[in-house]
Chains A and B, each alone.
Chain A
């Protein structure tokens, strides 16, 4: 059940009506049944796996909470971590790991070949589910969170349908209390929720799916392209990924809002960030804050406690290891490892030099210079992030290296002569190819990106929802109708592609 499909819209409508028609104390049950139904629409074969996992995690959390002895608490925590991490490792990484072991063994001419593990399709959303449950157990262990004693509400916390497939990775302190305090139906919330869903659907089926056509061709045929078409594909991928994932997030947050639930935001205009650190504070926020709270800070604290360690290890290893974990979490491929290490390196370099540069420009205290400096920083951050996306999207390391090798072959004279001759067809010729976008769609894609950035810039400065609400009814409704047909007629296809983050 794709969240951008009619099926999901009908499912959400029925769930909302049933939810608000049910007495308060049984509402969690309606959501749980809806969540089970939603899960089974994706992978019914794993419902037993998820049920057993919920049951075990519930009891482990109770054991951690009720035991006063730190040693026992730690044992239960370790059991909990192992029980959650083993399936994740098996489903996501075992085939990759066994392949790597084979390679290493073939290097040393090892005579025996280990039997290969059976490759199984991972349960939908396992990476998100695992992190959410681990955070819950760790919070209970640290005493930041009380354990939930109602197994139904705990089951709902781990399987709430808007969060099931690709997060946001929700913290217990935010979500669990909301299950115990259901709200009455709020007209304004429902309206805001619907509008947010529409915006998410627009980003997914109008922008992301359109850009994907171009991006897929270039990244799947890296030898066929040179220079600017690759640069455009990388920029397109940056926006495809953003529109795809933030579109999904908008849909699920909107759906939760209709039901009266406030979930965590996952994005905050990431491409307007003027540093890599700020980028990570505004990109996939629920994951980056998870990594910060459960890997970066604990690692840094433990390293600071070690007095004999060299300063550079204390400084460099936490960001590097955290981002490496981030890369590995995304998938079993060396491209993700490189992508993670690259961002770790960015953060290290930024921490070392940024303050000095900032201090220098602050001293100048000129608005124009600081404005230019800010713009330069934002553009540089975007370029660095895009450079990372090459590894993130490429099918293999050799593909990413091929693309990087070809990206520099710009053939500027060709574009310059076409530009001077004012021949747009000639100028766009290298960007038009079989299986890609035609000229109209290519230009439309660029316009859509500009529109997206303008809307986001406006949205960060004013409450657009309120502005729309203040319009006269006829104009407001006209706008809604126009927007609905805009989405439908500009969408690439009815049967939309899967959301990119579903694979993670």
Chain B
């Protein structure tokens, strides 16, 4: 049995060495990732203290697709980054903000999505897998996983497995690099001017963490609006019950010295129930009146975007044209807030 144990031990040592090599490879690949700035790319930059923007946006896809940091930057003269992540709920956004502040300078303004979709826990979830590579980054991230002892042991021994959810992104990045080399380095327009990072692809554009869709999803948007959409109904009780969460967020903003802006993104005309919309708007308005450093921006019935099918990618998300209009509007509002704060 001694021979077996000895050989098994040697095997474990070899496994661990290979794991360290593999982990280093994944880590290095993520660090050097340039092509992607949404989700993986943004989180890498955030954890490596590379964002440090004056205005940072947190939210779901209805932030990542709606807010163009380049436009906000041009309007306000402040650096901006969009940390909206597709399918993320309120808790994930709040967690991301906390981790952002651990690694980056405190922004002047944090714009937080006050959307009905990301606040309804039955619709969106906390995508913990996105944070797995940063599991050992801080106790804040480590506690997110609430692992049992055997799971912790597993992640300690096979540390390369924490990068598993990001392997597709890593592979895609290498594919992009190969493509770029094949095409003489010019396939993706990539500029690094005043902290703006742009990747132009045939169907979408990535700008400082934001992702903009060109055109429309075929068949999703009717040619004329208003159109009788199936009305989305939310569980408002769960949203209103989060008042305490918002109070905590406000307190947090006070303590850390940044201004909190709650943004209600636009919906297509008739998509949400009007009575529900009013209840939600009232809730956020009251919240902003109650606390000094909270501002509420309501774009739920934006007259420019509401009835124009040309500005929508699908029934829930704006396209690049719509995002530009909304970002200009947001930029102007933020300008006012910045002036007030001065």
Contact = CB atoms under 8 A, between A and B. Distances in A.
A in complex with B = yes
A480 interface: yes
B4 A481 contact: no
Contacts of A481: 11, 14-15, 18
A484 interface: yes
Which DSSP category, helix, strand, loop or mixed, fits chain A's interface? Answer: helix
A472 interface: no
B15 A10 contact: no
B176 interface: no
B11 A6 contact: no
A185 B4 contact: yes
Contacts of A5: 150
Contact of B11 (A10, A20, A480, A494): A480
Interface string A420-441: 0000000000000000000010
A17 interface: yes
Contacts of A485: 18-19, 22, 160
B168 interface: yes
A190 B4 contact: yes
A495 interface: yes
Contacts of B153: 6
B174 interface: no
B1 A185 contact: yes
A494 B161 contact: yes
A484 B155 CA distance: 14
A392 to B, nearest CB: 30
Nearest to A484: B15
B235 interface: no
A484 B154 CA distance: 13
B4 A440 contact: no
B164 interface: yes
A494 B158 CA distance: 11
A51 to B, nearest CB: 28
A255 to B, nearest CB: 15
A477 interface: yes
B18 A489 contact: no
Contacts of A185: 1, 4
A5 B154 CA distance: 9
A299 interface: no
A120 to B, nearest CB: 27
Contact of A495 (B22, B151, B164): B151
A7 interface: yes
A488 interface: yes
B154 A440 contact: no
Interface of B: 1, 3-5, 11, 14-15, 18-19, 22, 150-151, 153-155, 158, 160-161, 164, 167-168
Given A187-B3, A489-B167, 9 more contacts: A17-B5, A185-B1, A190-B4, A191-B4, A477-B14, A481-B15, A485-B160, A488-B161, A494-B151
5 contacts: A5-B150, A6-B151, A440-B168, A477-B14, A485-B160
